[in-house]
Structure 1
Amino acid sequence: MLKPTIGPIIGHVTTNHARIFIRGNSQNNAPVFGGIRYRISGTQQWSKAIFAKLSELRDMSEVLVLNNLSTDTEYEYQAGWFSPMSPVHTTDSVAELPLQWPREIYRLRTRSSKAMQARAYIVGSCRYLRMTAGVASLPHLGDRIFASISQLIEGAQPAISATLMTGDQIYVDDLNLIAPDREYKDILSKYRAAFSQPHIKHLMSGTSTYMILDDHEIEDNWPANAGKSDGELYRNAMAAYELYQVSHSPAHELTDNGQVNRSKLEHYWYQFSDGDIEWFVTDSRTRRNLSADDRRILDEAQEQALLNWLINSPARVKFVVTSVMFYPDRKVLGDDAWKAFPEQRLRLLETIRTRRIKNVVFISGDVHGSLTSRLTHSEAADFEVHTIVSSPLCNSKLLPYAKASTFILDQPLVTTAAGDYRHELTSTVISEDNFAHVVVEADQILVNYHDRDGKKLQSIAIKLR
């Protein structure tokens, strides 16, 4: 067996199952199979291997599901792919072959169901990896920060539950002015290049990774900039996105036999839980309505699902991921974010305020600057919402970093008959490549920002209520 060409990528993990993405390679139309075997760390006996046939239709990739795992337990696993001599093999028959597995052993940990247990996450967005003639240019620049993240994870207490990549994991449009990529094969090559770099590959093989798209997975400022000829671009970009970012996420339900249901994908937004902490990862990009009479950044079904979750979830902390800024608003170029959808934003805020929902934190990226901020209400002393912004993992030299002067901070976010929503920065604005290490403790959320070499830039404590 050979090492995966991309992966393994640990996707959605629960208390008892894990989804793992691997990719092999085509072998002159011969059948190709991918496989995984696992065991509890410290034991000797491997599980019966799980195999899947790899197909060109999915770019020789598949998501294998490990079921019936034990809660809060560390597992070891091996992964690889091969092409058997006989063309008539099936996933059942290859299990009987005397295979030589790749030597590398990876590790994953299932979730704990315990409440009030400290938990930690890595948050980042906007990883620029320029491609020239199909080849990554200076790829180590776009990969180095992931070595620092892995180093932090190795010694982190509490252990890191997951990495959240909140948009612009690739830049389909990195050469938009010269030679924009529109073809499916070219977009696939960007994913392969981005996810096969050594440091991000190491990170994703050992830490559960959740992803959601932003505009550069399609085109800058999508769909406002969409032209009449962009339908094919969108279809190609979404087909590649579904393979490399959605396939291992909770957006896919499981079939009755515990496998990823690839025949059904109703939307890209999803939820997941980690003990008494819950996440709602929104799709704030592909479901927009830009018409004047019903402007929406989230479609109606998604908004209703989010509101129902905010109202009814018993989670101690509720994280809402939105790839673009919820607040504060930018002075210029803000119309690509929630600033341009004020009615829908106000509906969310009014629900949180009138229902007295506590410990809601919005997580976003996009702006190539990192910050935390606090939103209060002039007439509701118990209303408080926070935002954590983490961007970029790797900037392009062509794009500026955000700074404090980028944002509108000298006036209320919203003024209503019931009072003003007022906001303030609770951190400095970081204007360099960085990532966030977010630790949820019993009485606070600690946000630690680190530069691309892992040096801590600042720490912010958000009190829980």
Structure 2
Amino acid sequence: MNRPTVGPILGFTTAQHARIFVRGASDKKNAVFAGIRHRKVGQSQWSAGVYSRLSTEFDMSDTLVLSGLSADTRYEYQAGWFSTERHDHTPETVKQIPLKWPPHLYTFKTTSNQPNRIRRYVTGSCRYLRLTAGIPSAPELGDRIFSAIGSLNQQRPLDAVVMTGDQVYVDDLNVLLPDREFAAISKKYQAAFSQPHIRNLMSGTPTYMMLDDHEIEDNWPANQNSTDRKLYNNAMTAYEIYQCSHGPAHELRPDGRINRDLKHYWYSFGDGDIDWFVMDCRTERTLSGNAKSMIGTQQEYALMKWLINSTAKVKVIVSSVMFMPDQQRGDDGWKAFAAQRNRILETIRSNAIKNVVFVSGDIHGSLTCQLRHSKSPGFVVHSIVSSPLCNTKLLPYAKASDLIVNGPLTTIGTGTYSLTLTSRVVSEDNFACLTIEDQKLKVDFHNNNGQIIESATITLT
């Protein structure tokens, strides 16, 4: 067997199952299969293995599902791909083939249902990796911060990494040579996810992803034109293969494989007493008319229902576009969709929902802030913004002067929502580490050397 050309990427992980993305390579003459086998750490007997026949439809990749796992248990696994001259082989019959597995061992831990356990997550966005003729130039710059995250993970294992957008820049060469073909876009994913430090991190830490605009085009869909349909289709096919396939948006089929028929890109998942709702803020936008909205009607309804019904201690909402504060300029953020944002805020306030935290990226700056209401003293909502993982010299970092802070955000009826910064605005490459312990959520922003450069503490109620 050969080592995966991309991956393995450990995605959606629960107490009972784990989804792992593996990519092989094409072989025009032979059938190609991917395989994974696993065992509990400390045991000698491997599982029979899970296999999948790879096809060009999914760029020679698949997400394999390990089922029947035990909660809060550490596993190790091997992953790879191989070809066979027998085109009549199936994922069941290849189990009889004697295989020499790649020697590398990967490890992961299933989630714990135990409430009140300390949990740690890393969030971040906007990882720029410049490509020249499909080859990364100075790739160590785009991978450096993942070395720092990996070191943090070794000190105390992370429960998950949540990437909130712009994991790749499909449009990085738009001025000179725009990428619109699937082959070129997929090469960007292959390069971005195959760098050593991010590859090592994602192989053993549950990784959740959501797209923002640069997975398609800057400020999508505001900048789209009549020729962009092909671009969109190719970009979203690549997104589905490389980012979405190993996440919770896919349902599981009765045979234990992922159902490729996606209903939508947004999703939710739980981790003990922490619930997450990851919004799709790009592909459902309505930009004009009375129904102007950032997210579609079905998604908004699902979000409201999730907010009201969740019994988790902390409810985290991921918005690739910064939910708050607003930027001074531009209409790409929630300020331009104020009516929908107001409905979300009023749902939280009118139902007295506690410990709601928005996590965002996008602006190439990081911060924490809180929102209060003039007529509801007990109301408070928090925002954590973390961006960028790796900037480019072509783009500036955000500064406090670029934002509307320490003042009113919106007024509804006779009540005003007012915002206050609870950290400084970080204007350098960084990621956020969220530690939830007892009645506190500690937010530490780390630079690409791993040093803590800013911290904030959110009191939970």
- Please tell me the TM-score bracket, short chain as reference: over 0.9
1:218: Cα distance to partner? 0.2
The equivalent of 1:306 in structure 2 is 303
The equivalent of 1:253 in structure 2 is 251
Task: Measure the CA separation in 2 of the matches of 1:432 and 1:218.
Answer: 24
Please tell me whether the aligned partners of residues 342 and 412 of structure 2 are also in contact (alpha carbons under 8 angstroms): no
Task: Measure the CA separation in 2 of the matches of 1:284 and 1:273.
Answer: 20
The equivalent of 2:376 in structure 1 is 380
* 1:406 pairs with one of 382, 399, 402: 402
The equivalent of 2:324 in structure 1 is 327
1:410: Cα distance to partner? 4.8
1:57-136 equivalences under 5 Å are 57-136=57-136
The equivalent of 1:416 in structure 2 is 412
Task: Name the Cα RMSD after superposition.
Answer: 0.9
1:70: Cα distance to partner? 0.2
State whether structure 2 residue 147 is matched by structure 1 residue 147: yes
1:27-66 equivalences under 5 Å are 27-66=27-66
Range with greater deviation from structure 2 (128-137 or 379-388): 128-137
1:293: Cα distance to partner? 1.4
Amino acid at match of 2:325: P
The equivalent of 1:315 in structure 2 is 312
1:89-238 equivalences under 5 Å are 89-156=89-156, 159-238=157-236
1:406-445 equivalences under 5 Å are 406-445=402-441
Q: Tell me the SS of whatever aligns to 2:11.
A: strand
Task: Measure the CA separation in 2 of the matches of 1:242 and 1:3.
Answer: 22
Task: Measure the CA separation in 2 of the matches of 1:277 and 1:318.
Answer: 6
Q: Tell me the SS of whatever aligns to 2:80.
A: strand
1:191-221 Cα distance to aligned partner (Å, 9 max, x none): 1111111111101001000000000000000
1:56: Cα distance to partner? 1.0
The equivalent of 1:274 in structure 2 is 271
1:422: Cα distance to partner? 0.4
1:259-278 Cα distance to aligned partner (Å, 9 max, x none): 1111x201000000001110
Task: Measure the CA separation in 1 of the matches of 2:29 and 2:394.
Answer: 42
Amino acid at match of 1:210: Y
Q: Tell me the SS of whatever aligns to 2:178.
A: coil
1:363: Cα distance to partner? 0.3
Task: Measure the CA separation in 2 of the matches of 1:305 and 1:49.
Answer: 36
Task: Measure the CA separation in 2 of the matches of 1:344 and 1:133.
Answer: 42
Task: Measure the CA separation in 1 of the matches of 2:414 and 2:101.
Answer: 65
Identity %: 56
* 1:285 pairs with one of 264, 282, 286: 282
1:29: Cα distance to partner? 3.2
Task: Measure the CA separation in 2 of the matches of 1:462 and 1:411.
Answer: 19
Q: Tell me the SS of whatever aligns to 2:84.
A: coil
State whether structure 2 residue 241 is matched by structure 1 residue 243: yes
Normalising by structure 2, report the TM-score.
0.99
In structure 2, relative to structure 1, the CA distance for the partners of 1:410 and 1:358 (3 Å cut) is closer
1:128-153 Cα distance to aligned partner (Å, 9 max, x none): 00111111111111011101100100
Task: Measure the CA separation in 2 of the matches of 1:274 and 1:65.
Answer: 19
Task: Measure the CA separation in 2 of the matches of 1:318 and 1:401.
Answer: 29
Unaligned 5+ runs, structure 2: none
Task: Measure the CA separation in 2 of the matches of 1:411 and 1:73.
Answer: 47
Please tell me whether the aligned partners of residues 432 and 445 of structure 2 are also in contact (alpha carbons under 8 angstroms): yes
Task: Measure the CA separation in 2 of the matches of 1:220 and 1:443.
Answer: 39
State whether structure 2 residue 361 is matched by structure 1 residue 338: no
Task: Measure the CA separation in 2 of the matches of 1:349 and 1:91.
Answer: 49
The equivalent of 2:354 in structure 1 is 358
The equivalent of 1:348 in structure 2 is 344
Task: Measure the CA separation in 1 of the matches of 2:59 and 2:150.
Answer: 27
Task: Measure the CA separation in 2 of the matches of 1:368 and 1:304.
Answer: 30
Task: Measure the CA separation in 2 of the matches of 1:194 and 1:113.
Answer: 33
1:196-254 Cα distance to aligned partner (Å, 9 max, x none): 11111101001000000000000000000001110111001001100001100100000
Task: Measure the CA separation in 2 of the matches of 1:383 and 1:92.
Answer: 55
Amino acid at match of 2:287: L
Unaligned 5+ runs, structure 1: none
1:88: Cα distance to partner? 3.0
Range with greater deviation from structure 2 (23-32 or 444-453): 23-32
Task: Measure the CA separation in 2 of the matches of 1:5 and 1:297.
Answer: 36
Please tell me whether the aligned partners of residues 53 and 91 of structure 2 are also in contact (alpha carbons under 8 angstroms): yes
Task: Measure the CA separation in 2 of the matches of 1:356 and 1:228.
Answer: 45
1:72: Cα distance to partner? 0.5
1:148-169 Cα distance to aligned partner (Å, 9 max, x none): 100100111xx31100000000
Amino acid at match of 1:260: I
1:180: Cα distance to partner? 0.9
Amino acid at match of 2:446: H
Task: Measure the CA separation in 1 of the matches of 2:142 and 2:136.
Answer: 9
Task: Measure the CA separation in 1 of the matches of 2:198 and 2:450.
Answer: 15
Task: Measure the CA separation in 1 of the matches of 2:375 and 2:89.
Answer: 69
Q: Tell me the SS of whatever aligns to 1:160.
A: coil
The equivalent of 2:450 in structure 1 is 454
1:28: Cα distance to partner? 2.6
Task: Measure the CA separation in 2 of the matches of 1:138 and 1:191.
Answer: 16
Q: Tell me the SS of whatever aligns to 1:412.
A: strand
Number of residue equivalences: 461
